Structure formats: structure tokens, C-alpha cells
Amino acid sequence: MADSSKKSLLGLTLTELKDVARQLDMPAFTGAQMAKWIYGRRVRSIEEMTDISKANRLRLAEHYEIGCHEPTDAQHSKDGTIKYLFPVSPTGKAGGPAEGQPQQFVETVFIPEENDRATLCVSSQVGCKMNCLFCQTGKQGFDGNLSARDILNQVYALPECDRLTNIVFMGQGEPMDNLESVLRATEILTADYAWAWSPKRITVSSIGVKGKLKRFLDESDCHVAISLHSPLTEQRASLMPAERAMPIKEVVDLLRNYDFSHQRRLSFEYIVFGGLNDSTAHAREIVRLLQGLDCRINLIRFHQIPGTPLKGADEQRMEAFRDYLTAHGIFTTIRASRGQDIYAACGLLSTAKKQKHETPS
């Protein structure tokens, strides 16, 4: 666990690392050396930065640390999926963290796929303000934003980091509600001095946050995934209260101003609930809503969570829904269900961990 008395180097840009070097009276090139050791080699301690002089390493270690948090728990699925639990120090909640506040955790899911692909699903907040009916994370309430460090640490400290081919910001929290940290994290992931990932390997999801989504579209080249779940205004609002603040029709109108026909991809996530949003009428409205937009739809099976009457649709209904959309010009896939035997739904593992810490022994 990181030492709270020291500042973290993980999450700093190259310019900021050079500023650290300058403030500590080190040569300017020391900032680039730190970037190489942190992002290129993922060291755990300043002592490992062996091309920096011993004196400068000692001076640096007086004030800074790498800031790496190892996962505290892991659930392994029989299909190879691994859900990790990371300790975090969230910021940004009104009033700040209370003294003696229980340790907070977020979930990160490693999903190995065929053809040597591996996707990591990262979190951006502890809890979530959006309170979607189908999401366990929303039922936790909101406990704060993650720093760029805590977002990147989910990659940095991952045992399978070297196997990753894709990252999706589809874990706990609404990424656009923590836009500064998400933009900083994706900048470092794609920067030449750091991981140098192509933006095509990163997808950031959103339910639609007024103003924030536009800024992300303007400042980032990463793929975008919009949580749809119903094309009907009132029904979507009953599932996702944020619909009232930024209706899906406004989200789609905004998206029409951007080009998704080349490198950048736009997708819509659609959890299929049996008997609720899986009718032909719903599919017809989706076609009308997205007409002319260069996009794809991912149909998602619902993972049951406590305290909700929602249920998943059967396979036949999902296939019929997919086939209707595909026949009407929208490329649609059914996402493979992964990790159902390991607290698969987002928020279940961290909720269990939080309740354990809050329960007096």
C-alpha cells in the first residue's frame, strides 16, 4: 500500500516528472528517466531506477514513491476471467474523506479472449451517482472519484499487464463524471513517453453527461461506447435517471457531429431485459433513433443482482433482436457472457468487501 505521507509518481505526465526533477535540483533529463522506469518497466520502487544516481534516488524517495497498490483480492472464473479488487484513495467527494473512513475498493476485470487478445475492464469511481436500476455499483452510492494514479494502477499492478491488448472504461463509475482523471489516464496510456497504446485499443463508456461527453469527444481519439438500454424516453429514465438530464436523443444528436467512419469506433451497449426492452417495437425504435449513424450495437446478457425485479432475456429472444437490427443495417453482436461464477455483475465484489469492513467484529 502506498505511503500517504509521500506523493505518487504514477499518474504524472512527462512534463510533470521533469518539474519534479527540477524542483529537487536534479538534471532535466531525470524526468525522462523516471518516465522510462515507471511506464516502460513498471518498477515498484525508486531504488530500482538504477541509471539515476544514488544521491538523487535518495532525494527523490524522501518526497515521492511510485504509488503502486497491489490487488487485495482476486476471484478466478472457470472461463479464465479474473476479477481483481484494488484498494484506492478516492478524491472529489463533497467534504473530503472522513477520518477513520473504511478502506475503499474498486473492481477490475481481466478477460482473456481467443487469438491472444485480452481485455481489461477498469473502474473510474468508487460507487456512482447515476443510480441505474440494473447496476450494483449505483446502489453503493457515491464515495469519490479515482485519481489518474488509481485508474492507471489497475493496469500497472495487474499481474497480466503484459498480456493486455485492449482496455475498456466500463467498470464502476461513470467515466464522464470523472473526466479530468479519465483524460489524464488515457493521455498517459497513449503517450509516446509512457505506454504508447493506440487510442484504437481503448474504449470509454458513458451514459451521456451534458457538456462532459462533448469535451471527451473533442479531446480524445479513443473509442466511445454509449449505454443505451432502451430507446424509449420514459422507460430509459426508469432504468437510468440520467436520461432526464441528458436524453438519449440529445446524445445521438451530439454524436452526429463526429466522424466514426474511419479509425474511431462508436458503439451502443444494450442490456437485454426479458419482457421489458426486448420487443420488436424496441428494435424498431432503435433503428429509427440511430438511422444514418455509423455505429454498432453490443447486446449484453443481464447478470442478476440483489434487490431488483429485472431478469435476463432468453437466448432465442436475444438472437431475434440481433437479427432484426442487423437486417435493418445496424451491425449487432451478442457479447459473450463471462465470469458468471465470480461475482460477475459490476459492484458485487466491492460491495461485499465494503460491507465486511463496515461490519464491527
Q: Pick from 129, 90, 83, 165: which is nearest to 346 by CA?
A: 83
Better-scored residue on pLDDT, 307 or 79? 79
Give the active site residues. 107, 346
Asked if 216 contacts 255 with a C-beta cutoff of 8 angstroms, the reply is no
Question: Three-class SS of residue 126?
Answer: strand
Cell reading at 38: 515507471
Output the pLDDT for position 175: 98
Output the pLDDT for position 97: 45
Share of residues in the chain with pLDDT > 90 (%): 82
Q: pLDDT band for position 353 (50/70/90)?
A: low
Q: Is the pLDDT of residue 355 over 60?
A: no
Q: pLDDT band for position 304 (50/70/90)?
A: confident
Output the pLDDT for position 351: 53
Q: pLDDT band for position 358 (50/70/90)?
A: low
Asked if 152 contacts 197 with a C-beta cutoff of 8 angstroms, the reply is no
State the amino acid at position 126 in one-letter form.
Answer: V
Q: Which of 161-170, 176-185, 298-307, 341-350 has the lowest mean pLDDT?
A: 341-350
Q: Which of 105-109, 186-190, 280-284, 306-310 has the lowest mean pLDDT?
A: 306-310
Output the pLDDT for position 98: 42
Share of residues in the chain with pLDDT > 70 (%): 91
Mean pLDDT of 313-337: 96
Mean pLDDT of 208-224: 95
Q: Is the pLDDT of residue 61 over 80?
A: yes
Output the pLDDT for position 1: 47
- Spatial separation of the C-alpha atoms in residues 301 and 271, rounded to whole Å: 6
pLDDT 10s digits, 290-302 = 999 999 999 999 9
Q: Is the pLDDT of residue 81 over 80?
A: yes
Mean pLDDT of 332-344: 81
Does the pTM of the predicted model rise above 0.85? yes
Mean pLDDT of 39-45: 97
Q: Is the pLDDT of residue 306 over 90?
A: no
Output the pLDDT for position 103: 81
- Spatial separation of the C-alpha atoms in residues 152 and 186, rounded to whole Å: 9
Output the pLDDT for position 343: 62
Average pLDDT, the chain: 91
Output the pLDDT for position 95: 40
The b/e string for 27-66 (b: 16+ C-beta within 10 A; e otherwise) is eeebbebbbbbbbeebbeebeebeebeeebbebbeeebbb
Q: How many C-beta neighbours within 10 Å does residue 26 have? A: 21
Q: In degrees rounded to 5, what are phi and psi of residue 152?
A: -65, -30
Better-scored residue on pLDDT, 89 or 320? 320
The b/e string for 127-160 (b: 16+ C-beta within 10 A; e otherwise) is bbebbbbbbbbbbbebbbbbbbbbbbbbbbbbee
